[in-house]
Amino acid sequence: MSELRDLSALIRANTPLIVVESQDEQQVVDLFRQSLAQVWRPMFRWTITEGLRRFDMDGEDDPFGAPDSNSVLHAIREARARGVYLLLDFHPYLGYASNQRLLRDIVQRRHCQEHVVVLVGAKVELPLELEMLAVRFSPSLPDTNALLAMVREEVVNYAHENGGRRVKVDKEAAAQVVRNLRGLSMTDARRIARQLIFADGALGQHDLPQLAKLKFELLNRSGNLYYEYDTAAFADVAGARRLKRWIEQRRPVFASGNAPAGLDPPKGVLLLGVQGCGKSMLAKAIAGGFGVPLLRLDFGTLYDKYHGETEKNLRSALSSAEELSPCVLWIDEIEKGLSDAGESDAGVSRRVLGYLLTWMAERKSHVFLVATANQVYALPPELLRKGRFDEIFFVDLPASDVREEVFRLHLHKRDLDSWDFDLLALAAATDGFSGAEIEQTIVSALYAAYAEQQPLRTDLILTEIANTRPLSVIMAEQVANLRSWARERTVSVD
């Protein structure tokens, strides 16, 4: 195991100060205990509540002395034999000048043995003077085999705690659960697995959405991602036949996480189109088609007035998305965050674009990017060049047969029987209407029917259609230009 070998090398080299950032303290302690097989050195752990304990032998000794931060540093400096000292959550006490000076004396070997001091915490920030003397070590997260063993342990634990009742396990779903637990510490993974198992004594496909939700709540440290709980099925989307086929062809590769030799895994699509034609619904349907969670990134929340904070927010959001993979990351109206603003925003947009393009090109995680845009002319040309996205799809105004399907879906959504309506007449009357505008004619007609104390009829909908001026009429030139630009440059979703 490479991390154990690396840690043992650091100890053998008498590295004076090691920093380990981890939420799982026990994993860190166990890892140091395992290093004893390669290097013998007395090992101690310290907490402010218990003081020092020796833990390199079976179990741990009772705590002895040095209960406060200053005392433990004096004890380490005065110790005659070389030792490894794990100080848990010690970094807040480095705000005291005396503690900082004592630790520097130990690290710089002033009148003391060659001790190895290890600072362990969820996030360890050091004064600059100590940071320059420290080596940071990152323990690896549990692999598939370790997570599978943990899930099996929790299945056995459930039986022990419930009078021998066995857990109903769907093997395929269990494999997906294990794969989706990747990226978590063992403590967090166990907490989620235990919650799923103990909720109903079963582990099946129905647990996957809950797992995704729990994982998102745990890892969304940036606060700039939003979990879309209601992903749509492709059956809920009218038209888009070509896009649906494109997703179905790539689903096995994306879902398995293992692309065959010579085949690159799918990385993302850009959805351009007329406003109200269903780009957002398609983004949700893509996540549903892949069978993975959908995360939405709002560029508006990234921008910060302080220098460098916007780029930091983007890095944090993309890092969280990678930890939550496999998933679909949806950036809505991407042109609003990446418009070529020149120097009007001090170059922030250009730096954000540069980082996003680098991430798109170099990422190895299973994050499928779906970007939607209305104003193609506002998009920077670097984003549109071939290779940035697997494909650029255009979502046009719906054709007659698609408009029929849109009416059918929205009537069914409101528990109305589409057979009671003349869908051909409705589709013919809504030439140039977007899907959103079609839905609003039904909503307006329902209000009219309610006012008349009558059931909804075709003629009421036709009246509302006649009173509606669609966007293709109000902004005819802009819509025509967009459709003309896309005709030879993009792939139609239908």
For residue range 40-94, list pLDDT tens digits in order.
Answer: 888 999 999 888 888 876 666 666 666 888 999 998 888 888 889 999 999 999 9
- Which one is predicted more confidently, 47 or 27? 47
What single letter denotes the amino acid at residue 314?
Answer: L
Architecture of the domain spanning 400-474: Orthogonal Bundle (1.10)
Is pLDDT above 60 for 344? no
For the chain, the straight-line distance linking the first and the last C-alpha, in angstroms and rounded, comes to 51
Provide the pLDDT confidence category of residue 419 given band limits of 50, 70 and 90.
Answer: very high
357 Cβ neighbours under 8 A, 6+ residues apart: 382, 383, 388
Q: Is the pLDDT of residue 431 over 90?
A: yes
**CA gap 381, 270 in Å, rounded:** 13
Residue type, 162: N
Highest mean pLDDT among 138-142, 188-192, 378-382: 188-192
Q: What is the pLDDT of residues 219-263, one digit of tens each?
A: 766 667 888 876 767 777 888 899 999 999 988 888 776 767 777
**What percent of the chain stands above pLDDT 90?**
26
Checking phi first, is residue 117 left (phi over 0); if not, alpha (psi -120 to 50) or beta?
beta
Gyration radius (Cα) of the chain, Å:
29
Please determine, looking at this structure, whether the domain spanning 2-137 carries the CATH number 3.40.50.300.
yes
Q: In the structure encoding, which two tokens stand for residue 9, read together?
A: 């090398």
- Is the separation of the CB atoms in 65 and 58 below 8 Å? no
Cα–Cα distance, 394 to 389 (Å, whole number): 13
Q: Across residues 351-357, what is the average pLDDT?
A: 85
Q: Under DSSP, is residue 367 helix (H, G, I), strand (E, B) or coil?
A: strand
pLDDT interval class at 307 (50, 70, 90): low
**Whole-number average pLDDT of the chain:** 85
pLDDT for residue 353: 84
pLDDT of 439? 92
118 CB neighbour count, 10 Å cutoff: 26
Domain ranges of the chain: 2-137, 144-219, 253-392, 400-474
Q: Residue 85's pLDDT is what?
A: 93
Of 212-221, 347-356, 374-383, 477-486, which one has max mean pLDDT? Answer: 477-486
- What is the pLDDT confidence band of residue 456, given thresholds at 50, 70 and 90? very high
Residue 179: its pLDDT value, please? 82
pLDDT at 385 > cutoff 90: no
Q: With beta carbons less than 8 A apart as the criterion, state whether 203 and 271 touch.
A: no
CA–CA separation, 175 and 194 (whole Å): 15
What is the bridge-based pairing of β-strands 225-228 and 327-331? unpaired
Identify the residue with better confidence: 279 or 348. 279
pLDDT of residue 445: 93
Please check whether the two domains, 253-392 and 400-474, share a CATH topology: no
Q: Quickly state the pLDDT bin for 469 (edges 50, 70, 90).
A: very high
Residues across the chain: 494
Name which of 197, 217, 215 is nearest 206 in CA terms.
197
Residue 305 pLDDT: 54
- When pLDDT is cut at 50, 70 and 90, the band that residue 387 belongs to is confident
Least confident of 300-309, 380-389, 454-463: 300-309
Q: Is residue 462 scored above 90 in pLDDT?
A: yes
Question: What is the predicted pLDDT for the residue at 30?
Answer: 86
Average the pLDDT over 135-143 and give the result. 84
Collapsing DSSP to helix, strand or coil, 486 comes out as helix
Q: What are phi and psi of 438, to 5 degrees?
A: -60, -45
- Name the H helices within 339-475: 348-362, 381-384, 400-413, 423-429, 435-451, 458-466, 471-474
Which of 28-37, 193-202, 305-314 is least confident? 305-314
pLDDT tens digits for 167-179? 888 888 888 888 8
Using DSSP's 3-state secondary structure scheme, residue 326 falls into coil
Q: What is the CATH number of domain 253-392?
A: 3.40.50.300
Residue 1 has pLDDT above 70, yes or no: no
CA dist., res. 360 & res. 381, Å (int)? 15
Q: Rounded to the nearest 10 degrees, how much is the dihedral formed by the CA atoms of 347, 351, 352, 357?
A: 140
In order, the DSSP letters of 173-237 are: HHHHHHHHTTTS-HHHHHHHHHHHHHHHSEESGGGHHHHHHHHHHHH--SS-EEEE--PPPGGGS
Look at residues 150, 159, 152, 151 and name the one whose alpha carbon lies nearest to residue 201. 159
Residue 440, pLDDT above cutoff 90 = yes
pLDDT tens sequence across 83-132: 899 999 999 999 899 999 999 998 888 777 788 999 999 888 888 888 98
Tokens in use for 267? Answer: 């990385």
At 306 the pLDDT is 55
Identify the pLDDT of residue 256.
73
